[in-house]
Each structure stands twice: as C-alpha cells, then as structure tokens.
Amino acid sequence: MKRVGFLLKVKVDKLDEYKKHHENVWSEMLAALREAGWHNYSLFLHNNGQLFGYFETPHSLEQAQALMATQEVNTRWQEFMAPYFDANARPDEMFQELEEVFHLD
C-alpha cells in the first residue's frame, strides 16, 4: 500500500464553509473514493488555509486520480469545491505530492 501526502491551499475567507461541507461528504463520493482504492483518507486544515491530505492506495497518486476522474460524482464534487481554492483548476488536479521521508511501522 502506498502512502500519499499532498498539499493544497484553501481560501482563508472560505475555511468555515469548506469545513462544513466536509462534515457531510456525499455518500456517493465516499463510495467512489473507496472503489478507486482510496483508503484511510484524511484532510488536515490550518487556519492560514494550508491543507494537508493523506491517503493510502495500492496505486500511484496519478493512477488513483485517474480512477477517480472516471467517476461522474467526482466531476460534480470537484466543480462544487473549486471556488474554495485559489487556482483556476479542479482541486484534484492541483495536488502537490509530498515525498515520504519516514514512516514508523
């Protein structure tokens, strides 16, 4: 299982809304993530908008993203979430993958 860490930047004026939407992620989106091999998925948000994401997958980040890209619900979710980020792209296309340098088993 590959561990993937990534960074994104949420607009500071949208932090509360962003967190609220993640209290009740659409059930069909959760199912699509699981079907695409995204496990133990977590998001951590700093009050400056820095977002750290983590998940485990049998795939590379690119493969995991490609599997999600085939899901219609993912397209809707990414369009819904796009206004919360600074760039003019889908959030799932802006991941800045981090290199894993240590893991305590």
Q: What is the set of active-site residues?
A: 22
Distance CA 59, CA 78 (A): 21
- With b meaning 16 or more CB within 10 Å and e meaning fewer, what string describes 45-80? beeebebebebebebeeeebbebbeebebbeebbee
